[in-house]
Structure 1
């Protein structure tokens, strides 16, 4: 008889993090009898949850120079996000570490590199570090990068790899939903069912609500999308995806969405929707000047 698999002590913590229950991940992280590797992974997930909640300084203060490579990588992400005007030094440190043969192949370091370069919209550089995979998070990030670069064929290949490893894994299901949304058409309904399944199994989060809302918008049901997004806004009034989706939803419903756009500009000035809106405003101003 095959030996029973060891219990996965971090399953619930990972799941909370993947689905956007960041405070629950932090609150329920005091887990006994963890191996040293599991303890490091636990700490990485907790600090990444703090980062997701915007508590960058707490992470920077608590992770000291004696911490392990994965934790140092998480600290780099906090430094990168905390100071949008001085990204160069953080990116330089990141590249230095990636070039170090002793630590460059570390999975968390490669994951953080992928996240940072994705933020920079440097997808080729991101893939240099993520493409080899090795963890479900790296595979899921690859799916996101391929979708961003309009290569749903590569995203599908990456999804198949994830399905072979664990078809029921939360990240496999999420990656499947992202790809279905990117492909569109009849796949939108399949994506909706994945988010619906999450909402029946787990506590409702902004991520799940936004997923369902985006599916509804694709299917032309903007009233239902707005209801879901307002519920998400109650959970986190500063969530950039919720605010951005409410702007889009409002435009389709013929409602003013200027308040949501103003909030987005204040809290997430680097968001793509803010950049596009500013670009459109500039173009409009130039057009007005040219005919004045």
Structure 2
């Protein structure tokens, strides 16, 4: 129906910008269509997942729930413990092989997210590359940037700009691409996050975005201030901790506490893996000359 109000706009926007508790708190929306109600529930449960409340999602979504919610439950199972990963991926592949549900946009999105976590980018793209929703296009941008293919990421961004240039996800994807390209584009990325911070309540995602831009521009003191504000909002956020490790090293402060927190709360984080690998290499080098 043309011109119909978008009842989920604020809920979606909160979710995209990392205001997960706000998304949950404002989700009691009356008179939603059945499809909108499923989308609303998907966003609420994904917000709980972003807050690491995996068990709540696993317990609340039962076998009778709609396909998108079942897909969200799979993501909660996948992230809840390393022991669940293999069986979850096996279930996911079974569902993707079922032609009746394989084309569901949320199922394809969750598949993309899980395979991106697995660093199996080609498999992720099999399910996301056809697009169909702004979230799928935005995920494609992220996947291509992880593959160091900013040229393909830019093509996806152009599609998003043609659909809706002012969409929050289009703006976010523009900032991600600008950060990847670097140079004069960093300032443009900073202005996007600055614009978000003036329009919406400050979230860890916005603060981290601004901080990374500041670090690229050499403004490490400003970056540290932003990151400490983000840490006050969520002391376990992996991106905040990882960025604080990098920032602290640049301004000559000890980063060991942030790295320890990151190791405890997110042992699989890429920075933790790199640090462990560097420590192992150093130990081997010491032993070879001892």
Cross-structure match for 1:219 = 217
Deviation at 1:86, TM superposition (A): 3.1
Deviation at 1:4, TM superposition (A): 5.2
Cross-structure match for 2:8 = 10
Cross-structure match for 1:59 = 57
- Tell me, yes or no, if structure 1 residue 31 matches structure 2 residue 17: no
User: Number of paired residues?
Assistant: 290
1:173-188 paired onto structure 2 within 5 Å: 173-188=171-186
1:201-240 paired onto structure 2 within 5 Å: 201-240=199-238
Please give the secondary structure, in 1, of the residue aligned with 2:221. helix
TM-score w.r.t. length of structure 2: 0.99
Cross-structure match for 1:105 = 103
Cross-structure match for 2:70 = 72
Q: Distance in 1 between matches of 2:83 and 2:270?
A: 17
1:254-273 paired onto structure 2 within 5 Å: 254-273=252-271
Cross-structure match for 1:149 = 147
CA contact (8 A) 2:77 2:84 kept: no
Deviation at 1:47, TM superposition (A): 0.2
- Tell me, yes or no, if structure 1 residue 90 matches structure 2 residue 88: yes
Q: Distance in 2 between matches of 1:96 and 1:276?
A: 34
Pick the aligned partner of 1:159 from 136, 157, 160: 157
Q: Distance in 2 between matches of 1:86 and 1:72?
A: 15
Please give the secondary structure, in 2, of the residue aligned with 1:86. helix
- Tell me, yes or no, if structure 1 residue 289 matches structure 2 residue 287: yes
Deviation at 1:83, TM superposition (A): 1.2
Please give the secondary structure, in 1, of the residue aligned with 2:157. helix
TM-score w.r.t. length of structure 1: 0.99
Q: Show structure 1 runs of 5+ residues with no match.
A: none
Q: Show structure 2 runs of 5+ residues with no match.
A: none
Cross-structure match for 1:19 = 17
